[in-house]
Structure 1
Amino acid sequence: MSENFTRLDRLRIVREWQAYQLGRTDRTIAELEEQQAAAARAARVLPPPAPGWKLSMLRTGGRAHADAVHTDDCGMSGKQTQPMTREQALRALTEDGIEACPFCRPDRDLGVL
């Protein structure tokens, strides 16, 4: 059967096969490049920030006093708050006797139960 094909016909068949293989190789390269790009994007995603803390203040008799310690994203803290560091929040809960918010539970995040 191969005797019926001229040398030119055979070369065209080989070229068609090589074009097919090249297309498969190009698709595989594109898939691998996309996987690498996705992995690079995932590596660039920053972890969520560590929770901050804040101290809610209550006004009674014209004076403000500390009410409760909250996580930074707590919606129950009210309007008057002061930002706190981790150390300040720990001290407020353990030494100063300030309550932890029962909704956001900063004591759990701080390891004070």
Structure 2
Amino acid sequence: MSDLPPDLPRLRTLETWLVLALERVRARIADAERREAERRAGEAGRPPVPDWVVERGIGQGRRPLYVHTGDCHLAGGRRYPVSREAAARAVAEGVEACSHCRADAELGILE
């Protein structure tokens, strides 16, 4: 026993529906592939994460406030990348190390 209709008109209707459904699936696949290619291109074009950043304050002079590891998500938008030596020097000069990422511990400077 077959699960398909026995007559030609219903078979043609089913064929039309399946072709339309296949076109929708293929369009959705193409959209997903395009989004994935865009995501990969965006990741490839992203600048590398610095090892160390210094967060600045607000206002004139914009003093350094905190030293963070480069991947710390608590570092604010007013930050700039620095070398390991500059980060260690900033902590030694009194710039506070982030208590979340423990930049002082990462630098090997524990108070």
TM-score by length of 2: 0.52
Please identify runs of 4+ aligned residues in structure 1 that moved more than 3 A. Answer: none
| Cα deviation, residue 63, structure 1 | 3.5
Number of the residue aligned with 1:78? 76
Q: Map residues 32-111 of structure 1 onto 2, 5 A cutoff.
A: 52-60=51-59, 62-94=60-92, 96-111=93-108
**Which of the pair is proportionally richer in strand?**
1
Residue deviations 1:46-71, cap 9 Å, x none? xxxxx7100001113x4411110000
Q: Structure 1 CA distance, aligned partners of 2:69 and 2:97?
A: 9
Question: CA-atom RMSD, angstroms?
Answer: 1.3
Task: Determine the C-alpha separation between the residues in 2 that align with 1:67 and 1:99.
Answer: 6
Q: Provide the aligned length of Structure 1 versus Structure 2.
A: 61
Structure 1: distance between partners of 2:68 and 2:51: 9
Q: What code does the residue aligned with 2:73 have? A: G
Structure 2 unpaired stretches of 5+: 1-49
User: Which one-letter code corresponds to 1:82 in the other structure?
Assistant: Y
Query: In the aligned structure 2, how far is the partner of 1:58 from the partner of 1:92?
Result: 14
Same amino acid, percent of matched pairs: 39
- TM-score, normalisation: structure 1: 0.51
